[in-house]
Amino acid sequence: MRRPYRELGKPFAVRTLELIQGLQLIADSIQRLQEGETRYLAVLSGQLRALVAERRGGEVPLLIDVAEKLGKTLSIHCMPGIDDPAFPEALSKDLELHVAGFPVTLERQFPAQREMPLPEFLDKSLILFRNTKYSSRKVIEWYANKAGGAHYSSAIPEDFAALMTLNLMSMRPLATLLAQIGEATLAAGRQLLKSVVDFENYALVVIPAQEPGSIRDVNYLFDSQYAGSDMRISLTLNSRLMPSFFVCGLQGAWARVDCDRLIDWSEARLLHATLFIEDDLTTTMELAVDGVRVGRCNAKFPLFVLSDPMEYDSYHNRAFDGQPQRFSFAVSQVFMIGRELGPEDSANMQLYMSRKRLELDLRVCCYGPEAFARAERGSKNLKMTGHVTHVLASDLPKV
């Protein structure tokens, strides 16, 4: 199967960072609107136009463009629009205002909802006002081009002016509609980020007794770097053999989780590192040893780092940009999963790896001092350099 387009050099890297900023502004605007600060409708409409509704000069809206480049489809579930044939014809006569299509959700929550691509939803007729139909895209363009989202126009369409001032039982239908479109866009954008960023990494590791002077302040177990960018994923041990999980995103922002306790390396240990984007677009990272969480952090921004290991130049027992180290370690199995596992899958993986860890005949690949392995980008094959042996974990000298 042909791999999705993945070039992350400029200008796509810049557009990805702009998308992250745009989604953050949408999230901030929705929160401010919920607090009654209606001036943020201008901010929201401007970002919505740029992310999903831009049509000037054949431009592809930012969110749509990034999704296409990453080989992803943006889909939502919505209720029938104003053209729903099930709507009673008798009620449609002399109807002044009809708003339909909501709620919009990522997963189906109502029997009448149906799935459709986000661009199709934006062109769906959702408002009937004075016998004229309007789409979500038209509402976005109205606010962005006429009411301050991108321009302050000296003239606005009569229907837009009427809808802006319409107040039904303390509700402003047009403002509410724009906020709901914002929530749908935010959900789709967040899901896109999670689909390429979230990951869980499992590794069965043995640390044997080390030669004198071979332990440094930072000892690399695994290190992966995306060439030409700051994206990097590392699992290291400090001078006390306590693990750390480090991630640097495309935007140069980084976060690290450090183990909070000494680890007994007299037997194989299961290292489990996770990273996932939260609903509020923050990033949570966790580190666990043998199923016990030993570190956790929450970065107040989305760390954009591709979860597919095939996209990286990866090393075992060496830093990407460093020299061979005198450190020595052994590894049995490594799994990198490009999503956050659900409860059942997580439990099954933990049980499987825990059983493997306790096997008396557990075989490992042991990297001696200055030995390392490299898998080039696009390859699963590890090329070994130096003294690498396959032995029983129980035969390695204990720390």
Encode burial over 95-110: b for 16+ CB neighbours within 10 A, e otherwise: eeebbbbbebbeeeee
Task: Match 């039904």 to its residue by tokens.
Answer: 168
Res 98: pLDDT: 78
Res 4: pLDDT: 60
Res 1: pLDDT: 47
pLDDT in tens, 291-341: 999 999 999 999 999 999 999 999 999 999 999 999 999 999 999 999 999
Indicate whether 93 pLDDT > 80: no
The more confident residue out of 91 and 145 is 145
Residue ranges of E strands in 264-309: 269-277, 283-289, 292-299
Indicate whether 2 pLDDT > 70: no
Residue type, 22: G
pLDDT in tens, 329-383: 999 999 999 999 999 999 999 999 999 999 999 999 999 999 999 999 999 899 9
pTM above 0.75, yes or no: yes
| DSSP β-bridge partners for residue 313 | 225
Q: What count of other Cβ atoms lies within 10 Å of the Cβ of residue 247?
A: 23
Phi, psi angle pair for 149, to nearest 5°: -65, -40
Res 156: pLDDT: 55
Indicate whether 82 pLDDT > 90: no
| DSSP β-bridge partners for residue 316 | 222, 373
pLDDT in tens, 4-44: 656 555 578 888 999 999 999 999 999 998 898 888 988 99
Instruction: Quote the DSSP letter at residue 50.
Output: I
283: exposed, middle or buried (C-beta count within 10 Å: 0-12, 13-18, 19+)? buried
Cα dihedral 113, 114, 119, 122 in deg (nearest 10): -30
* Separation in Å, CA 135 to CA 53, 83, 179, 188: 11, 12, 14, 18
Strand order in the sheet with 97-99: 97-99, 125-129, 132-135
Question: Does residue 180 contact residue 33 with C-beta atoms inside 8 Å?
Answer: no
pLDDT in tens, 183-213: 999 999 999 999 999 999 999 999 999 999 9
* Separation in Å, CA 44 to CA 28, 103, 105, 119, 180: 9, 18, 19, 18, 11
Question: Does residue 330 contact residue 367 with C-beta atoms inside 8 Å?
Answer: yes
Instruction: Say which range, 54-63, 86-95, 277-286, 339-348, has the weakest mean pLDDT.
Output: 86-95
Which CATH number fits the domain 198-395, given the four candidates 1.20.1250.20, 2.40.30.30, 3.30.540.10, 2.60.120.200?
Answer: 2.60.120.200
> HSE (CB half, 13 Å, CA atoms) of 88?
4
Indicate whether 3 pLDDT > 80: no
Number of helices (H), then strands (E), belonging to the chain: the values are 9, 19
Domain ranges of the chain: 12-194, 198-395
The more confident residue out of 149 and 332 is 332
Res 31: pLDDT: 93
Average pLDDT, the chain: 88
